[in-house]
Amino acid sequence: MKRSIQVFIAAMVQLVGSSVMLLFTLFMVYVFFSLRHHPAAKLPTGMFVFSFILYGALAVLGFATANGVLLRQAWARISTLVFSCLLLLTGAMMSVVLFLIPMNQPGAPSIPDHELFVIRSVMGGFCALLALIGGWWLWLFTRKSVAAQFARQPAQTPVPPEPGVQAPALSLAARRPVSITIIACLMLFGVANLVFTPMYFKVPVTAFFVWTGSGWPALAIMVLSAAAQVVIGIGLLRLRPWSRIAAMLWLLFGVANSAVFFCTPGGEARYQRMMELMQMRMKPPVGMSPGLPVAMMLWIIVCAALIALVQIYFLITRRAAFAPPEAPPVPCQSAQSTQ
């Protein structure tokens, strides 16, 4: 099947976005090495290293995905769908958060309200544009006509199996719904938090319901969380029935953990305590405003709950994909001739 013009435009957008990401990464490298030895600059080395690796990896993956889309490779369509979900979720969330988060820091010169509105509008508009691109990709690459362009074309016309002969079973990738693949990739992507946390903090900081702490208990919670996400993500990719239930429980646990931490009495104090711990243990320590508006907390909780509910919906409705394939029928043996 011939590649459609919409798919070609989507690949061009991916190339442009990956080029911008790569240029931004190189710019950050330039800024870091230019100001590294400046006496007045206290650059968080871990944050810059994390940004180099993350943005550089996303740029390389974006170039590879765009090339795969142009060549109509099946994995590139899945990669685009994962990217589209990340752009849609982060873009939509940040476009609202930018209007809720306080930008004037205590003790620093305040920015006039009209300038703040322009800054918020420009940054929020950019995030909204990313969300629109993500939504467009998600709509485009889930259409049947577009999915057919990435389907492997058989070398020859398949021959129907003979009567009594079992047809070849579908491969695991062919049986796995796209929605389950995206959920599994999001699970595995979350493991990066454990890998890059030591670059940010001398000691990890985490929250577990109403408990906020750091040190070895926090590290143990992060390691167990990462291990659980890896196991669940791999289980989803392999269509293990238990992984579907485990994924739903994990998503519900995440929503409950955030809701209890932020929304129960003392939530704002717990958040401020967590911010203080994070600031003290960053490399190097930095000063930030620990305040968080209640509206912003509620918005984050609502977005997290909606994202989890959407994933749970697909896990429930795609239950049939986790059923084990039917065993091939036992061939009937012909009656033996009498001797």
Percent of the chain with pLDDT over 70: 73
Give the per-residue pLDDT at 288. 47
What pLDDT does 316 receive? 94
Distance CA 14, CA 58 (A): 11
For 64-118, write each residue's pLDDT tens digit.
Answer: 999 999 998 888 998 899 889 888 888 888 888 777 776 665 555 667 777 778 8
Q: Are 267 and 210 in contact (CB under 8 A)?
A: no
As a whole number of angstroms, the distance between CA 269 and CA 335 comes to 81
Q: Is the pLDDT of residue 1 over 80?
A: no
The predicted-structure confidence for 242-285, as pLDDT tens digits, reads as follows 999 999 999 999 888 888 887 778 777 777 777 777 666 665 44
Higher-pLDDT residue of 53, 289 = 53
Q: What is the pLDDT of residue 339?
A: 47
pLDDT in tens, 110-139: 677 777 788 888 888 888 999 999 999 999
Q: Tokens at residue 158, please?
A: 């398949």
Report pLDDT for 209: 80
Of 306, 224, 202, which Cα lies nearest the Cα of 258?
306
Q: Kindly state the percentage of the chain with pLDDT values over 90.
A: 23
Looking from the CA of 206 toward its CB, the CA atoms found within 13 Å total 21
Q: pLDDT confidence of 337, banded at 50, 70, 90?
A: very low
Q: Does residue 162 have a pLDDT over 60? A: no
Q: Looking at the predicted structure, is the pLDDT value of residue 300 above 90? A: no
Beta-carbon contacts of residue 268 (< 8 Å; ≥ 6 apart): 292, 294, 297
Residue-level pLDDT at 273: 76
pLDDT, residue 286, reads 47
For residues 319-335, give the mean pLDDT: 66
The pLDDT assigned to 161 comes to: 55
Residue 42 confidence (pLDDT):
61
Q: If pLDDT is split at 50, 70 and 90, which confidence band does 33 have?
A: confident
Angle of CA points 194, 57, 306, to nearest 5°: 60
Residue 318 confidence (pLDDT) above 70: yes
The pTM of this model reads: 0.71
pLDDT surpasses 50 at 223: yes
Residue 206: in which H helix or E strand, if any? strand 205-208
Give residue limits of the domains in the chain.
1-151, 173-320
Amino acid 31: pLDDT: 78
User: Where residue 176 falls among pLDDT bands split at 50, 70, 90?
Assistant: confident
Dihedral Cα 303, 309, 314, 320, nearest 10 deg: 160
Q: What is the pLDDT of residue 284?
A: 47
What integer is the mean pLDDT of 169-178? Answer: 72
From the list 144, 232, 148, the residue with the least C-alpha distance to 183 is: 232
CA 190 to CA 230: how far, in whole Å?
9
